[in-house]
């Protein structure tokens, strides 16, 4: 079975900004992280592309890579109390994670769509 080739870069960029990877108009998310069953504009079955734990894994990796320099710069530049630095970084890390998770999940759904990685019920 041959499937039509899809531009994964464009699909990931569309998913990143909460747009349907197929048409670029409809929304990917119904809420914060719930993927719509079908694109409201082109009826593409976006709910058939299960992102599972992939977006969480990539988000954790990105946040951990950002956290290390934030600890270093926060310590060197502000010379703050360690408890204050800990609390500030905990809040900042939580906010960054919540923002990145949605962006990464949208891009992930776009990637899965571009590579025809549908849920096969396995
Ligand atoms: Zn669409």
Q: How far is the CA of 27 from the centre of ligand 1 (A)?
A: 7
Helix axes 8-16 and 82-114, enclosed angle (nearest 10): 130
Do 1 and 90 contact (CB within 8 A), yes or no? no
Reported as a pLDDT band with limits 50, 70 and 90, residue 5 is confident
Q: How far is the CA of 98 from the centre of ligand 1 (A)?
A: 25
Neighbours of ion ligand 1 (CB under 5 A): 20, 22-23, 26, 39, 41-42, 44
Q: Which two tokens stand for residue 115?
A: 């590579």
Q: How far is the CA of 12 from the centre of ligand 1 (A)?
A: 13
Reported as a pLDDT band with limits 50, 70 and 90, residue 121 is confident
List, in sequence order, the alpha helices (H) in 26-120: 54-78, 82-114
Stated as kind and residue range, the H or E segment containing 16 is helix 8-16
Per-domain residue ranges for the chain? 8-114
pLDDT at residue 2 tops 80: no
Q: How far is the CA of 38 from the centre of ligand 1 (A)?
A: 8
Q: What is the distance in angstroms between the CA of the first residue and the CA of the last residue of the chain?
A: 19
Residue with tokens 């909460």: 18
Q: How far is the CA of 4 from the centre of ligand 1 (A)?
A: 16
Burial of residue 34 (number of CB atoms within 10 Å: 0-12, 13-18, 19+)? exposed
pLDDT value at residue 78? 86
Q: What is the mean pLDDT of residues 25-47?
A: 94
Query: What average pLDDT does the chain have?
Result: 92
Closest by Cα among 1, 8, 2 to 115: 8
Taking the model in full, what pTM does it have?
0.88
């Amino acid at each position: 079975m041959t499937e039509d080739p899809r531009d994964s870069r464009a699909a990931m960029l569309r998913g990143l900004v909460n747009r349907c990877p197929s048409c670029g108009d409809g929304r990917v998310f119904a809420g914060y992280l719930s993927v719509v069953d079908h694109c409201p504009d082109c009826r593409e079955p976006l709910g058939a592309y299960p992102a599972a734990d992939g977006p969480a894994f990539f988000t954790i990796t990105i946040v951990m890579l950002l956290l290390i320099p934030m600890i270093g710069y926060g310590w060197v530049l502000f010379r703050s109390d360690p408890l204050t630095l800990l609390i500030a970084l905990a809040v900042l890390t939580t906010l960054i994670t919540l923002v990145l998770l949605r962006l990464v999940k949208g891009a992930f759904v776009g990637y899965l769509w571009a590579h025809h990685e549908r849920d096969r019920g396995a």
